[in-house]
Amino acid sequence: MSFRTRLFGAVVALMTLAGAPVSAQQLELKVMAPAAPGGGWDQTARAMQQAFVASGVARSVQVTNVAGAGGTVGIAQFVNGAKGDGNQLMVNGFVMVGALAMNKSPVTLEQVTPIARLTEEIQVIVVPANSPIKNAQDLAAALKADIAKVTFAGGSAGGVDHVMAALFAGTVGADAKKVNYIPFSGGGESLAAILGGKVTAGISGLSEYDGQIKSGKLRAIGVSSENRIPGVDIPTFKEQGIDLVLANWRSVVAAPGITPEQKKTLSEAVEKMVKSDAWKEILKQKGWDDAYLAGDAFADFLKKENVRVTDVLKSVGLVKS
């Protein structure tokens, strides 16, 4: 990683260290964000850095960025370079599951040591304000009538938005194989296509469209959470009779080949970090939902998501079986 990043990392660490209580157990950690500075994974890594140091769990935390191909480049480097190192962590998330499958990565998520899921973001489906589609059932009817004519705009191919489009179509009984999904780079471009009425519907994380929904330029027809989100006046798909629950989660994993003691130390450190006030404060600021899940439950979750995402991507032809 560049000298600059390190320098800034050090500056941040120092700034936050000044007010940190000293604790007996102090780690020196390295956290890899397998993406360029600025994205969701990078922000998660830097938020962890802040909370680790502020809560006194770690003495110093260094964030490195290894960008490329939805994390494929980063995880390869992590698995090979950090093997057996009990002081290294890597941030990952939903998108990496699909990216690894699509890029036929020789390195898989089974090789890393799962630590914990940290946050999640609920997905939303929106339509332009003047669309005849008023709710999720209308969209389902349109899909069943002629699936090719229903165009979805969202993020990169095989990402969480794409998986959700296919799952939605499959759940309502349309042929998920034929879902007409148009990938755009970044939320901005897809938003323009939706506002301009170029596509039928758009899919993204809720926070990304929040302003447009509140100002009435977009109509939200459903969110992908299990239950209603407090303070958000949008029905879930489940309420509307469509059994679709999905979240764009982010988690943290450790290197392969670490000892059970090392895993325990890291898991405890992450747990302390998650329970710290500093972390709660950051979640509030960034608008992330706490989705802490650790231990075997997280390992199970990771396996299940892997199967689910790979199946969906196979069904839409992005992953050749």
Partner 1 sequence: MDTFAALAHGMAIAVQPMNLLYALIGVFLGTAVGVLPGIGPALTVALLLPVTYKLDPGGSLIMFAGIYYGGMYGGSTTAILINTPGESASMATALEGNKMAKAGRGGPALATSAIGSFVAGTIATIGLAFLSPYLVDIAVRFGPEDYFALMCVAFITVSATFGDSPIRGLTSLFIGLVLGLVGIDKLTGQARLAFGVPELLDGVEVTTLAVGLFAVGEALYVASRRHHTEEKIEAVKGSLWMTREDWRRSWKPWLRGTMFGFPIGALPAGGAEIPTFLSYSTERRLTKYPDEFGKGAIEGVAGPEAANNASAAGTLVPLLTLGLPTSATAAMMLAGFQQYGLNPGPLLFAERPDLVWGLIASLFIANTMLLVLNLPLVGLWVRLLKIPTPWLYAGILVFATMGTIAAKPSVVELSMLAGFGVLGFLMRRFDFPIAPVVVGLILGPIAESQLRRALAISLGDPMTLLQSPISATLLVVALIALIAPFILKGLGRFKANED
Least Å distance, CB 309 to partner 1, is 12
95 vs 92: CA distance, rounded Å:
8
Residue keyed to tokens 């998920």: 176
What DSSP assignment string belongs to 237-260? TTTTT-----EEEEEEEE-TT--H
CA atoms within 13 A of residue 174's CA, in its CB half-sphere: 26
Triad 267, 291, 110: Cα angle to 5°: 55
Least Å distance, CB 134 to partner 1, is 21
Smaller CB distance to partner 1: residue 13 or 172? Answer: 13
209 vs 226: CA distance, rounded Å:
20
Smaller CB distance to partner 1: residue 35 or 270? Answer: 35
Least Å distance, CB 260 to partner 1, is 31
Measured over the CA atoms of residue 260, residue 265, residue 267 and residue 268, the dihedral's sign is positive
Smaller CB distance to partner 1: residue 37 or 256? Answer: 37
Smaller CB distance to partner 1: residue 217 or 263? Answer: 217
90 vs 78: CA distance, rounded Å:
7
Least Å distance, CB 74 to partner 1, is 9
Least Å distance, CB 85 to partner 1, is 19
The residue ranges that bind partner 1 (CB under 8 A) are 1-5, 8, 11-12, 15, 36-38, 42-43, 46, 49-50, 67-69, 72-73, 76, 98, 102-103, 105, 148-149, 151, 156-158, 180, 182-189, 191-193, 195-196, 198-199, 207, 210-212, 214-215, 217, 285-287, 318
Smaller CB distance to partner 1: residue 40 or 114? Answer: 40
